[in-house]
A and B are shown apart, each in its own frame.
Chain A
Amino acid sequence: MMRFKIQRFCKHRKPINSVLIDYEIPQSDATLLEALTFVKIKTDQTLTFSSGCKSEVCGSCAVLVNGKEKLACGYKLQDGDVVEPLRYTEIIKDLVVDHSLAQKSLKRVISWQSKVSKKDDISIPEAKRVELQSDCILCASCFSSCPVLEVDSEFLGPFALTRNYRYVNDVRCEDEKEKIDAVQKKGIWDCTLCGECTLACPQGIDPKNDILMLRGRSMKYGYSDPNFAIDSDFGFNPSF
């Protein structure tokens, strides 16, 4: 038997719309998704969550467990776990959050192959350059783990920047400059390089490193770290 808690939310729930509720399931080796499904089927049909493939590729079921992002289908429930919805986006109901922001962020960073490519000889090392980044399942775990998004909802966020780099770094890319231009504002320089996104990614992707690589590419186009630029201005300011 396992006991765990779920943060429930419904805007119509009275007297308060948010409440932490205890549940228990008879199994001891269930995934979190199996546990949530058990609760919905046997205990409380109002429990609301998203799920899909059950095998960690569709990105539907990311939630917080004890404050850390996990795919419910790939996480083994532990006694005493506390389950909450992802952060930094609107909670729709219980563990379901609004994921519509992803589409807007991805459009802002031009994350696609812009021109039809005629290149049909791509070597194994060239293909490897985008292999890991294209494993992304858009589960938004990295988004939820990002402290910059806590204070700035305009920040592009890890997965959008990783996907931008995925296309920038593709040998078929013919509009690198436009793509690099797109990540300057509220993008790569706003990241604090804390690495939380890298720890949160269930696919082992390293957005922090992708952001560093994008910074390197940006220098090639004359961009520099605006935070650093202010410092150096101070250093060379004759009136200082």
Chain B
Amino acid sequence: MYDVLIIGAGGAALSAALSSKKEGVKVAVLCESYPTRAQTSMAQGGINASLGNAGKDSVSSHIEDTLKSSGEIGSKEMISKMCKDAPNRVKWLESIGMPYSRTDEGKIAQRKLGGASSDRACYAQDFTGLKILHTLYDQCLKEDIEFLNEKFLLEFVVQDNLIKGAICLDIRTTEVEFIKSKSVIVASGGFSALYYNFTTNTNQSTGDGIAAALRVGAKLSNMEFVQFHPTGLKKSGILISESARGAGGYLVNEKGERFTDELGPRDRVSRAIFSELESGGVYLDIRHLGEEFIDEHMPQERKLAITYEGIDPVYELIPISPVAHYSMGGIYVDENLMSLVKGLFAAGECSESGVHGANRLGGNSLLEILSFGRLAGENSAKFSKSYDYKDTDTKQQDSVKKFIQEIYEYENRENFYESREFLGELFYKKAGIIKEKKALKEALLEVEKMQENYTSMGLGDRSRVYNTNLIEFIKFKNTLTLGKALLVSAIKREESRGAHFRSDFPSIDENFNHRSFYDEV
């Protein structure tokens, strides 16, 4: 029995592990692979804090920028809480060994990201997320945090709306295990892998924690808001950083003409590119910057373009398209980061705490995982201390075991991997950068059809040892659940705000000046 069980092992999870352990409770981190494999490692840009190391800045400017970016539906209270905490989090990381890039004066280096009124993002070259994640992991080793590796979350156990623990699958043995805990923190990431082949995310970002929370009575919120990054590589979706445009790169169409302000907000640039793509390719052109400049300032971009697109940007245009990057929506949590299920907390991309609203500001995701990861850890530890745990019946465990057994018996008439690919393209075209009612409803019909056909998809691998086919098949089910949540929420929001753009309702509408909720199971 644990006091705090954390699902996921990225930045939010490890922050929560450290802060809850400090409260003197028994903590474990459940991870579907290994701790440093998390998507946090992919964050490049930086972490926002108004340190003012590169020009004047203030907490109130940070709050104002964040609120503005949120399309006015962010929570001022939560945004203030996070922005005020930001300098402390950044300095705390420094105190435990974070290798930031530095200024000439020896201060933490800061740079400008989109939507910020100052140079506010603290960074470590282009490896900010990677280095934060490993710094946290090293501290977890120091504090002797217990890791439950290669275990996949199946369900939360809840009785009378009170958390009892989680049921997971041991990936090595395919055993179903019930892990008792007095509180659970979901820190398992977002769901942009839904846009399969059209996303910067890993294929594993299927929002499993969000779907499981929904099944036990937690509400989801703002599921219609998914941020698209303007410049993913055409073939792979791998990210080419905003810094390429910041340094003077152009966006050009098939005729070689520029068609938009390259440094506008992400949602506007993405929409401009998406419209242009209907009449041909769109390219990022950095040739005029010259080989010497490119090698000095963006060697990573050159390497990525050569490896994943087969072109050398010194001599050629880089084919790009906007791709799904970050899901603003997730498990609705209150000011204590607790969901509507007592003792079930959430932090990071899987949560919707009100800090991003309709559009996340660059540099705020790393901040959120540190600030709210820590807070969730403290709050769950406190919650567990006043919790008189009573054992639950085994009904839920029995039904999960039955579900796994049944999957092995499903017929394998359709290849779900093909459905997953089809779904990715469907969402990109009908529920992506530009949405409208008819297309959203068509997509919803397709999702419901796949949900009906799920039992005839089945497994191609019936092994009981490290069955990734099984894991991916269950993840696909979660993808369908969240895909439906996204579509239903997007159909209801008959306006355009932040990352949600409806061509049939192209303006903002005061009647929708609030977060949306979703609770259909």
Contact = CB atoms under 8 A, between A and B. Distances in A.
Interface of A: 10-12, 29, 31, 40-42, 44-46, 48-55, 57-60, 74, 76, 92-93, 96, 99-100, 102-103, 106-107, 111-114, 116-118, 120-124, 126-127, 130-131, 134-138, 163, 167, 170, 172
A130 B107 contact: no
Contacts of A126: 102, 106
Contacts of B130: 57, 135, 137
Contacts of B465: 10-12, 92-93
A122 B459 CA distance: 54
Interface in B9-40: 33-34, 36-39
Contacts of B101: 127
Contacts of A102: 34
Given A54-B238, A127-B101, A45 B469 contact: yes
Interface string B197-239: 0000011100000000000000000000000000000001011
B141 A111 contact: yes
A53, A59, A118, most chain B CB atoms within 10 A: A53
Contacts of B41: 52-53, 57-59, 137
B418 A117 contact: no
Interface in B87-143: 91, 94-97, 99-107, 124-125, 127, 130-131, 134-135, 138-139, 141-142
Contacts of B239: 55
Give 7 nearest A-B pairs by CB, closest first. Answer: A45-B460, A113-B97, A112-B138, A121-B106, A41-B417, A46-B461, A93-B466
Contact of B99 (A59, A99, A131): A131
Nearest to A50: B33
Contacts of A29: 310
B260 interface: no
Contacts of B149: 100
B104 A172 contact: no
Given A76-B307, A117-B96, A124-B102, 5 more contacts: A41-B421, A57-B130, A106-B138, A111-B138, A170-B97
Contacts of B124: 134
13 contacts: A41-B418, A44-B460, A55-B308, A103-B141, A106-B138, A106-B141, A124-B103, A124-B104, A127-B100, A131-B125, A134-B134, A135-B127, A136-B134
Contacts, number: 154
B304 interface: yes
Given A58-B202, A107-B141, A131-B125, A117 B39 contact: no
Given A58-B41, A127-B102, A114 B236 contact: no
For chain B, the bracket of interface size reads 35 or more
A74 to B, nearest CB: 6
B463 A12 contact: yes
Contact of B42 (A49, A51, A53): A53
A48 B466 contact: yes
A131 B124 CA distance: 9
A134 B131 contact: yes
A59 B125 CA distance: 18
A73 B42 CA distance: 14
A49 B139 CA distance: 29
Given A46-B469, A74-B307, A136-B134, A117 B97 contact: yes
A45 B207 CA distance: 23
Given A50-B33, A59-B37, A103-B141, A45 B106 contact: no
B95 A122 contact: no
Contacts of A123: 102, 106
B172 interface: yes
Given A106-B138, A138-B36, A170-B97, A120 B204 contact: no
A92 B172 contact: yes
Contacts of A41: 415, 417-418, 421
B203 A46 contact: no
Contacts of B238: 54-55
B147 interface: yes
B468 A48 contact: yes
Contacts of B107: 120-121
A92 B417 CA distance: 23
A113 B96 contact: yes
Contacts of A40: 417, 468-469
Contact of A58 (B38, B100, B308, B463): B38
Q: Find the residue from A10, A102, A113, A116 having the highest chain B CB count within 10 A.
A: A113
A52 B204 contact: yes
Interface in B37-63: 37-39, 41-42
B39 A120 contact: no
